Amino acid sequence: MSTSIADMHCDLLSFLAVVPSADPFDKNQIACAFPWLKEGGVKMQVMAIYTTVDSGSRALATKQAAIFEELLRKEKETVCRFDGDFFRNQSEKGPIGIIASVENAAGFGTENSTWPEIYQQFDSIVEKVGTLAYISLTHHTENRFGGGNYTEGIGLKEDGKRLLDYMAGKRIPIDLSHTSDLLAEGILKHIDRHHLPIPVIASHSNFRSIWNHKRNLSDEFAQEIIHRGGIIGVNFLRAFLDNEVPERLFEHLLHGVKLGENAICFGADFFYTKDFPDPSRHPFYFPLADNAGKYPSILEQLSKQLSEVQLRKMAFENVFNFYQKLWA
């Protein structure tokens, strides 16, 4: 089956920021290189501004925002901005629509940053990249805003509440993909208690009921995202699908359709894996989903169980509809 693809998460920006001689056009370097995206029919790609929690996080986030800006300026035949105008101007053979996100709010401020510095960094990144597809307060670990998905008993901190308050009304979704359960709960409660207009999504998360992993969503949180009109992008990483069974990818996708066929989409999470220190994580992806060129074969496999309408929703319509409604 041939159709357009929207993908909610890749780490091309951090690859370009930190890997010497990184080339976004080299298929051998990263699974979301531009030729792979073209081969897979990707028409919209979210590019995360990713940082760890350390003293250099703000500088690294700034560098990635500048790289995003540079891609739009220098690679006009390959990429264009994914924004409200994209829907009016898109064509089958046109460039890939790209939009940045922030994966880990440590990129806005270190543990020692003042709030004027955090606000200034937030505004500066938005000014550089245009709008943001979403913001994740944390990554795997704890930061000043809350607890990441591998932390126990750490929820939404006071600084996290303050950042949510600053996001309110800016039409930037909050992402639950890297939260502890306690942080996800705290975010939802704070939004509801203060009636904050903040959409809620999970950009690259699978389902705990299919593969019991802390990084995956419980059905309760998945249903809460769907209830709020959000979207959920299924992740292609082996560790979050099932370490041994490649076909589990299809189970996660089908489970997402069962929970809410208007919410499920792709959040492949392709990143630079060559220097990753933990040998148990290799290979990161099963061959059936190890680069962005594999989307047509994934959809072909799913066409045995899903209608063409359902496949189109999953492939790109759910993502496009979500952002068209958000930016209307």
Domains present along the chain, CATH in parentheses: 5-327 (3.20.20.140)
What residues contact residue 180 under an 8 Å CB cut-off, 6+ apart? 138, 146, 147, 148, 149, 150, 151, 152, 153, 154, 155
Mean pLDDT of 205-225: 98
- What's the whole-number mean pLDDT along residues 285-297? 98
Q: Check residue 189 and give its pLDDT.
A: 98
- Distance from CA of residue 162 to its chain's centroid? 22
* Average pLDDT, integer, range 136-151: 97
Single-letter residue type at 37 = L
Binning pLDDT at 50, 70 and 90, where does residue 1 land? Answer: low
The candidate with the shortest Cα–Cα distance to 31, out of 214, 322, 273, 228, is 273
Task: Express each pLDDT in 227-273 by its tens digit.
Answer: 999 999 999 999 999 999 999 999 999 999 999 999 999 999 999 99
Give 2's pLDDT tier (boundaries 50, 70, 90). confident
β-pairing, 79-81 vs 96-103, is parallel
CA dihedral 26, 7, 277, 242 (to 10 degrees): -130
Is 328 exposed, middle or buried (CB count within 10 Å of its CB: 0-12, 13-18, 19+)?
exposed
The pLDDT tens digits for 17-74 are 999 999 999 999 999 999 999 999 999 999 999 999 999 999 999 999 999 999 999 9
Tell me the C-alpha distance between 115 and 162, whole Å. Answer: 9
- Are 312 and 264 in contact, with CB atoms under 8 Å apart? no
The pLDDT value given to residue 277: 85
Q: Where are the alpha helices (DSSP H) in 44-157?
A: 57-74, 84-89, 115-129
The first and second tokens of residue 206, run together, are 């699978």
Q: pLDDT confidence of 280, banded at 50, 70, 90?
A: confident
Query: Quick one: pLDDT at residue 89?
Result: 79
Q: Where are the beta strands (DSSP E) in the chain?
A: 5-10, 42-50, 79-81, 96-103, 132-136, 174-175, 200-201, 232-234, 264-266
Q: Which of the two residues, 144 and 87, has the higher pLDDT score? A: 144
What is the Cα–Cα distance from 62 to 327, expressed in whole angstroms?
25
> 217 with 232: CB under 8 angstroms?
yes
Taking residues 190-215, report their average pLDDT: 98
Give yes or no for residue 93 having a pLDDT over 90: no
Angle at CA of residue 10, ends 7 and 13, nearest 5°:
135
Residue with tokens 């949510």: 164
The CA distance from 104 to 31, in Å, is 22
- Average pLDDT of the chain is 97
* Arithmetic mean of pLDDT, 199-208: 98
